[in-house]
Structure 1
Amino acid sequence: MNTHNVTERVIALDKLDPNQHGQLKYASAFVDEHIDDIRLADGKLIVSHHAPDGGERIAAHVERLIERFSRGDFGFKEHILFEHRGPTPYRGDIIADLIEAKTIKVLEPGLFIFREPFSSLLRFFDDSFVKRVAEPFGAKEESYPAVIHLSTLDKTNHFTSFPEHIHFLNHLRDDLDVIESFSESVRQAGGWKEDAPLDLNKTMPKPRLAMNPSTCYHCYEGLQGETLEGDGIVATAVAKCHRYESKNHADFGRLLDFSMREIIFVGKPEFVRENRLKAVELLKQLAVEWEIDCLIENANDPFFTNDFQVKASFQRNQEMKYEMRLTVPYIGKSIACSSVNFHSTAFGTAFDIKTGKRPATTGCVGFGLERWVFAFLAQFGLNEEGWPAAFRDQYRAWQTKSR
């Protein structure tokens, strides 16, 4: 945090439905680069900042977001599909425990190095989701790049829905003078400096690629222009995903770089709908068997657009997105660890994927692997003897088999 001339700006949220306070806090983190911290308290948004104008611009931008989020009388449909109360015997600060044990190394908020046993749990959860959720659908394993074409992101409407998340990828120009000049400037400065003068227009071309923000996008790109046979296909892949989320990276489990396992359905509408509902049932079975404290509820994506209310309300009212939220006892909140999504024909149309003569319907089930491990350990702790018996037995059997 920048501690030079840090002040607070308190913004009342009387105009906004309390159910949207969390989404406003999330979006407000992006409004100005002088923000150091942002939090909710007693129906108010408290912004710590070092803005030279005393926070006037920050307050004005937050008011714009409040207006955007409250525009129209749409209302949010709420629907809890499933709720399971687990024992949650552990109540400690799991992040502090993991840091103290040197199981994780924090490079910066949202960017971690994971060591044992966290790294083994990541692989165990992934293998479990493949075996317990992907394989019942006969899903075929695919492998995707960590980067994606900007033209592909354009087809998914990512630029107009989540522009704040994008990590652009670039390189030095193919120019000997540029390359040598850059290298020499770093050498003379005694190494790379964060404040090093870097004229992007002179040293870099316009980017063509970005870090991949979502695993399933590559699946649709790979099917572009194809006509599918039968009812459809099911693919699965795990990929490193990247989303810039500003000060929100300080929130529990909100990573800059994370692993996302997805099961992706592409085909006829009923094929996708039925498989999506079957996936929900498989998630319920895992929750009960592993004694996880969680719920599955209707949700919406954090759209960052002027038509936020229209998009979010449509998504909720059509029940296009379900989230499986796992309780984190020591902060008294839950975090989304899995999502079950229905896209209708949006991606089938965008990528010219057909079933017969009609655009294909798509849907997917996503698992944020690091979040699953964080939330599980937050409920049960690092001592294996305190883990649910079924989970512990499966994990130990997996360890024996994977050696």
Structure 2
Amino acid sequence: MSALTTHNATAEEVYLDRLLAAQLLLPTDLPGIYARGSAFAQIMEGLEHAITRYGRTKETILLRCPPVLPRSIVEKCGYFQSFPQLLGCMCSFTGGTTEHDALMQAVDAGDNLLPHLELADVVMAPAACYYVYPYLAGTLPTEGKTTDIENWCYRHEPSLNPMRMRSFRMREFVHAGTPEQALGFRDRWIERAQEFLTLLGLTATVEAASDPFFGAGERLMAAQQRAQALKFELLIPIVSDERPTAVMSSNYHKDHFGHLFDIHTPDGQTAHTACLAFGMERIVLALLAEHGLQLSQWPRTLQARLEVN
């Protein structure tokens, strides 16, 4: 399957075609949904191990969760208000025989199936860190808590740009503590993230950023996020200097999640949180663009670091 169409292909679409031709990604009938080929999967595994060696300490809490998230959590976090365009909701069939007959008639006719389904109590996780905060409820230790979580995530952004997959993996280190601890964690990890990418032969720039808010207050919320320096992205020009890709991001949430999930510091104050997110597929795509699609031609030191050949 080719990403190229009759229009003038973008640099991102040309890159996607090269990835598909090399079977690094395997196509489906849907844009932004791909299987990972053998070499791509090898790099992903090596990257996971490299992040663990670089970022996890003996105090880090390890958390691995399913790719679906209770809908109540995203409702509580305000995701429907801020990012409804990205959320992947799930529906389930809950009827009996009569309802099933009606469902099958709709399937056979190619009709809308939603009248025959009910909204499920889970959604596809839009970010890994949302699973962390409910488990932090209560009083934190003096030094705060750092959690290492990796999860399959989904965002509804159909595209032929391989850097904007709809289903992808996100690895995060999330810290909860005092304002000073959370900000210190965020600032240290911005520097450490650049150093980590340098070890992979990648050069990233750091820029203030904002999330893709939705609705009438979109511009105001984005401007406030930038003005308060709450979000930074590490950008790499994977296929275009004019359109660099964010491969990692660092966010300071202030006391937002502390209030929502009743997380406190030992002195009774509402905890602040910060997170550092690795876009796993995007880092792999940056590695392939920088070092080539043949792993055997990569620098020996990089092959050893990521355990690939």
Q: Pick from 182, 199, 223: which aligns with 2:136?
A: 223
Alpha-carbon displacement from aligned partner over 1:329-367 (angstroms, at most 9, x marks no partner): 467531011001100000110111111322111111111
- Counterpart residue type for residue 119 of structure 1: A
SS of aligned partner of 1:207: strand
Partner of 1:391: 302
Aligned residue for 2:292?
381
Q: Is 1:328 aligned to residue 238 of structure 2?
A: yes
Structure 2 CA distance for partners of 1:330 and 1:345, relative to 1, 3 Å: closer
Residue of structure 2 equivalent to 1:162? 83
Instruction: Give 1:265 deviation, angstroms.
Output: 0.6
- Counterpart code for 1:360: A
Q: Secondary structure at the match of 1:358?
A: coil
Q: Distance in 2 between matches of 1:92 and 1:310?
A: 33
Following the alignment from structure 1 to structure 2, what is the Cα–Cα distance between the partners of residues 92 and 111? 14
Deviations 1:208-261 (A, max 9, x none): 22111010001112234x222213100111101011024xx2234101100001
Q: Which has the larger radius of gyration?
A: 1
Q: Partners in 1 of 2:98 and 2:282 — Cα distance?
A: 45
**Corresponding residue for residue 244 of structure 1:** 156
**1:58-91 deviations in whole A, cap 9, x for unaligned?**
xxxxxxxxxxxxxxxxxxxxxxxxxxxxxxxxx9
Q: Which amino acid aligns with 2:209?
A: A
TM-score, structure 1 as length reference: 0.68
The one-letter amino acid paired with 1:230 is T
> CA shift at 1:324, angstroms?
0.8
Aligned residue in 2 for 1:153: 74
Quickly say closer, same or farther: Cα 1:290–1:311, change in 2 above 3 A.
same
Comparing 158-167 with 352-361, greater Cα deviation is found at 352-361
Check conservation: 2:152, 2:168, Cα contact below 8 A: yes
The alignment of Structure 1 onto Structure 2 pairs a total of residues equal to: 299
- Residue 391 and residue 174 in structure 1: after superposition, are their counterparts in 2 closer, same or farther (change >3 A)? same
How far is the alpha carbon of 1:99 from its aligned partner?
1.1
Q: 1:354 and 2:264 equivalent?
A: yes
Question: 2: CA distance between counterparts of 1:197 and 1:309?
Answer: 34
Determine the structure 2 residue equivalent to 1:142.
63
Quote the sequence identity (%). 25
- Aligned-pair distance for 1:137? 7.5
**For 1:254 and 1:345, how far apart are their aligned partners in 2?**
30
Partner of 2:111: 196
1:174 Cα shift? 4.2
Question: Residue 35 of structure 2 is aligned with which of 113, 120, 137?
Answer: 113
> What code does the residue aligned with 1:299 have?
A
Structure 2: runs of 5+ lacking an equivalent: 1-6
User: Is there any run of 5+ residues in structure 1 with no aligned partner, and where?
Assistant: 1-36, 41-90
RMSD of aligned Cα (Å): 2.6
TM-score, scaled relative to structure 2 = 0.88
What is the CA-CA distance between 1:136 and the residue it aligns to?
Answer: 4.2
Matching residue within 117, 123, 127 for 1:210: 123
| Structure 2 equivalent of residue 46 of structure 1 | none
Q: Does 1:253 align with 2:163?
A: yes
Structure 1 CA distance for aligned equivalents of residues 244 and 299 of structure 2: 19
Given that 2:238 and 2:244 are in contact with CA atoms closer than 8 Å, whether structure 1 keeps it comes out as yes
CA distance in 1, matches of 2:161, 2:68: 25
